[in-house]
Amino acid sequence: MDYIPLLVLIISFVGLLAIGTPVAWSIAISSMLTLLVSVPSLPALATISQRMATGLDSFALLAIPFFILSGELMNHGGIAHRLIAFAKTLVGALPGGLALINIISAMFMGAIAGSAMASASAMGSILGPEMEKEGYDKGFSTAVNITSATTGLVIPPSNILIVYSLASGGASIAALFLAGYIPGLITGLLLMVVAMFWAKKKGYGTGERSTLGQVFKTFVDAVPSLFLLVLVIGGIVAGIFTATEASAIAVLYSLVLGFIYKQITFKKLPNIFLNASATTAVVMLLIAASMSMSWALSFEHIPQDISAGLLSITDNKVALLLIINVILLLVGVFMDITPAVLIFTPIFLPVVTKLGIDPVHFGIIMILNLCIGLCTPPVGSVLFVGIGVAKTSIEKVIKPLLPLFVAMIVALFLITYIPALALWLPGLFGL
């Protein structure tokens, strides 16, 4: 194995990040420097530029800007208030009721909007002040909001599942979407258990028990929002439309719903489109740069060398999955989820498929794992959104975050070592 390209890649990438270079440019520049080990400068520059452009030439990737726009429309369309009202009637009377409402609402909102940051922003701004008024510690309420927001990246429709499908070379998006439901629900339930224990320990009160009539009324109010999930996932699984076509339908549906709820007006649309465009630009630049790095890695045979190295350590499935999970947990601390999926999928997927692990199962493992990194400093984007919305500090959030991290890691290991939790639903629908 030639270690020089790998060393150049690691040293240049870490060095660029250390001096404050944006992540996308750090990826692109380190990819070019890696290629310079064995290719002259002009072809290396031309190849990286070409790979960045062709990396975005994919019909499946069109789903991402549409889902981002539908998420923005949902975020401004009065969806969050109705989901919170429905969640309140379900769990408001339990210990730590407001924390549980936050988790359930985030699962709904994240699934509908497909964005952890949109969920953290919406839930934090609406529920944060209410939790503080009821005597909840700000650090605890922020920690609950941050961790629960990530469940929407596993529960479909999810942009990152589409990115994984692209990086894996063709894992079924419909199968990935179905595979995300049970892992996402398990993660949410474990977060709720931890939140209830913490609330009991701290003496946080409970709300009033809701009547069946109140539950039914709030459910009816929330049905139009929840129907988006049925429309998008049902249409994809039934083969009526592709994920890209479903994303366009989601935009149209969420736009109409926003006007019906009178939360979106023509005056607000330019700002919504601008926000969606800015987010899309950032995501697409990361994808383009990461695709160039994936190609450079493949050209230098780095994935094959790492695969052979890992398999030389052990061919035990349990041990190898443990090693990969630990590596991904460390990666998630220092790298955002999109480039991490694009870069490390081609490295680890050949290893796990040799051991008979389903690519769909591994995709859920990888994304659930990297979601933990979104809640950790120094790069955790959801962490900083949650802290910004709550107007608090990392120091106050870290302590209550720790038991919630444990819940997420327990969920990760359950999904890792019980494949049926991810594969049962896709199998049920023949995917």
Q: Report pTM.
A: 0.84
Give tens-digit pLDDT for 282-294: 878 888 888 888 7
Instruction: Indicate the pLDDT class of residue 272, thresholds 50, 70 and 90.
Output: confident
Of these ranges, 89-103, 342-356, 376-390, the one predicted with the greatest mean pLDDT is 342-356
- Secondary structure (H, E, C), the chain: CCCHHHHHHHHHHHHHHHCCCCHHHHHHHHHHHHHCCCCCHHHHHHHHHHHHHHCCCCCHHHHHHHHHHHHHHHHHCCHHHHHHHHHHHHHCCCCCHHHHHHHHHHHHHHHHHCCHHHHHHHHHHHHHHHHHHCCCCHHHHHHHHHHHHHHHHCCCCCHHHHHHHHHCCCCCHHHHHHHCHHHHHHHHHHHHHHHHHHHHHHCCCCCCCCCHHHHHHHHHHHHHHHHHHHHHHHHHHCCCCCHHHHHHHHHHHHHHHHHHCCCCCCCCHHHHHHHHHHHHHHHHHHHHHHHHHHHHHHHCCHHHHHHHHHHHHCCCHHHHHHHHHHHHHHHHHHCCHHHHHHHHHHHHHHHHHHCCCCHHHHHHHHHHHHHHHCCCCCCCHHHHHHHHHHCCCHHHHHHHHHHHHHHHHHHHHHHHHCCHHHHHHHHHCCC
Give tens-digit pLDDT for 165-206: 888 887 888 899 899 999 999 999 999 999 888 888 777 666
Give tens-digit pLDDT for 197-241: 888 877 766 666 777 887 888 888 888 877 877 888 788 877 788
pLDDT exceeds cutoff 60 at 134: yes
Q: What per-residue confidence (pLDDT) applies to 113? A: 65
pLDDT exceeds cutoff 60 at 1: no
Instruction: Indicate the pLDDT class of residue 313, thresholds 50, 70 and 90.
Output: confident
Q: What per-residue confidence (pLDDT) applies to 347? A: 86
Q: Which of residues 53 and 415 earns the better pLDDT score?
A: 415
| Domain regions of the chain by residue span | 1-54, 59-284+302-428
pLDDT exceeds cutoff 90 at 251: no
Instruction: Indicate the pLDDT class of residue 418, thresholds 50, 70 and 90.
Output: very high
Give tens-digit pLDDT for 18-28: 888 887 888 88
Region 30-56: mean pLDDT is 84
